[in-house]
């Protein structure tokens, strides 16, 4: 499995491309602000063809470039229905500080031509890869994670694109519109702590980690395990 990731935009949001290998179709996960150029560079380097854009949640730093990327490569965009309205009106999910930053320029948003909705427990077969969708509300109402088998003899059963649910040593904020702290804790307890330790976590911000590392060291998860 080929996974290429890079931080993009003023929030350093991680954008990922996943494929079975060079010269194949690929999936783009969370193309945020200023991600289009980085995506194009990875596509050229590995001779990839994006066929789908997966969105972990509707915050603007994760979906700013969804429409242009989907349009450029004629790809299908996938998002949970509870966050779909943010594709066309991301201001509804912004903090006042972010809104002021965005209002400093001319920005328009619209849904891509082809949008499909995600469901909890759904399995997507895209670009020769399998992704299991887990609905993990709390950061936003429509937050999801994507888990994909990584490969035999690697010591890694799956990779999880966690969006802003789980980070190295922390979890997603819940003070923005649609956020709820009790709900994100429930998502972590039901959709993270039930997973094997060897799963590699590729978060929306910061460095990669693993379920085992976070179970052992993340104070938010440790609090959940002692309840």
Confidence of residue 100 (pLDDT cuts 50, 70, 90): low
Q: Let me know the angle formed at the C-alpha of 13 by 187 and 80, rounded to the nearest 5 degrees.
A: 45
Look at residue 103 and tell me whether its pLDDT is greater than 60.
no
Look at residue 101 and tell me whether its pLDDT is greater than 70.
no
> What does pLDDT average to over the chain?
92
pLDDT tens digits for range 53-73: 999 999 999 999 999 999 999
Q: What is the pLDDT of residue 223?
A: 76
Report the percent of the chain where pLDDT is more than 70. Answer: 92
Look at residue 95 and tell me whether its pLDDT is greater than 80.
no
pTM: 0.93
Q: How far apart are CA 112 and CA 120, in angstroms?
A: 22
* β-strands 76-79, 49-54 pairing: parallel
Q: How far apart are CA 153 and CA 172, in angstroms?
A: 32
pLDDT tens digits for range 118-147: 999 999 999 999 999 999 999 999 999 999
Look at residue 98 and tell me whether its pLDDT is greater than 90.
no
Backbone angles phi, psi at 64, to 5 degrees: -55, -40
Q: Which residue has the higher pLDDT, 74 or 10?
A: 74
Quick check: 22 and 71 in contact, CB under 8 A? no
Q: What is the pLDDT of residue 162?
A: 98
What would the mean pLDDT of 182-193 be, rounded to a whole number? 96
Domain at 2-225, CATH homologous superfamily: Ribonuclease Z/Hydroxyacylglutathione hydrolase-like (3.60.15.10)
């Amino acid at each position: 499995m080929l996974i290429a990731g890079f931080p993009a935009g003023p929030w350093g949001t991680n954008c990922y491309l996943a494929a079975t290998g060079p010269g194949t179709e690929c999936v783009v996960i969370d193309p945020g602000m200023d991600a289009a150029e980085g995506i194009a560079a990875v596509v050229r380097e590995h001779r990839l063809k994006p066929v789908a854009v997966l969105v972990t949640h509707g915050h603007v730093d994760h979906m700013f470039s969804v429409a242009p990327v989907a349009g450029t490569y004629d790809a299908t965009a996938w998002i949970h229905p509870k966050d779909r309205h943010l594709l066309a009106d991301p201001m509804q999910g912004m903090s006042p500080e972010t809104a002021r930053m965005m209002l400093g320029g001319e920005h328009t948003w619209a849904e891509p031509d082809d949008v499909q909705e995600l469901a909890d427990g759904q399995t997507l077969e895209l670009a020769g890869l399998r992704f299991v969708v887990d609905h993990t509300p709390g950061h936003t109402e429509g937050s999801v994670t994507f888990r994909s088998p990584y490969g035999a003899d690697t010591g890694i059963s799956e990779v999880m694109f966690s969006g802003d649910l789980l980070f190295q040593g922390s979890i997603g904020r819940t003070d923005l519109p649609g956020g709820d702290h009790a709900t994100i804790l429930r998502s972590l307890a039901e959709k993270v702590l039930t997973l094997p330790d060897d799963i590699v976590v590729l978060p929306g911000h910061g460095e990669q980690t693993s379920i085992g590392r976070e179970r052992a060291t993340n104070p938010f998860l440790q609090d959940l395990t002692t309840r």
